[in-house]
Amino acid sequence: MKMKAVVKMMMLTIGLLITSWGAPRFMAQLTQPLVVSVTNYPNPFDSRCERTTILFSLAQESQVHIAIYDLLGNLVRQFPSMQESAGTSSVVWDGTNESRQKVAKGGYLVLVVANSEAGVTQVVRKVGVLH
């Protein structure tokens, strides 16, 4: 595992949120998580002919950041930040990276981070890409 990924995991474990969207900050202890659930379908998916829909449910209105990482912790794709109301929303990933090139087959991680006045919640979901 790359040092960057190890450091990121350690920082998250002790309660710091490190993202490319801003400076590190302590996460508030929430009584109810902002992100209620994250799922995607199909999973796994064949990026040559399919896309996967990433569904996420929010407990309250939040600023949402979604990014795809490879298993080494490298950023593969980042979606534009969005302000979403409570309920279920989605984004579609076509299996491409930031340069719009198809990614290699294998495992990827979807990170969904929700920020609101109440604090920050993050959820990670595994996604498989087939060829």
What pLDDT, in 10s, does the model give residues 30-89? 567 888 999 999 999 999 999 999 999 999 999 999 999 999 999 999 999 999 999 999
pLDDT at 13: 43
- Examine residue 102 and state whether it is found in any structural domain, yes or no: yes
- Examine residue 8 and state whether it is found in any structural domain, yes or no: no
pLDDT at 94: 96
The CA distance from 6 to 13, in Å, is 11
Please enumerate in sequence order all residues whose Cβ is within 8 A of that of 40, keeping only pairs 6 or more positions apart, or say none: 52, 53, 54, 55, 93, 110, 125, 127
- Examine residue 20 and state whether it is found in any structural domain, yes or no: no
- Examine residue 88 and state whether it is found in any structural domain, yes or no: yes
- Examine residue 55 and state whether it is found in any structural domain, yes or no: yes
* Per-residue pLDDT tens digits for 91-117: 999 999 999 999 999 999 999 999 998
Q: Is the pLDDT of residue 10 over 60?
A: no
Contact 96, 116 (CB under 8 A): no
Split into its structural domains, the chain has a count of: 1
CATH of the domain at 41: 2.60.40.4070
pLDDT at 101: 96
- Examine residue 4 and state whether it is found in any structural domain, yes or no: no
Domain with 78, as residue range(s), is 28-130
- Examine residue 13 and state whether it is found in any structural domain, yes or no: no
Instruction: Measure the CA angle with vertex 7, ends 99 and 98; round to 5°.
Output: 5
pTM for the whole structure: 0.76
- Examine residue 23 and state whether it is found in any structural domain, yes or no: no
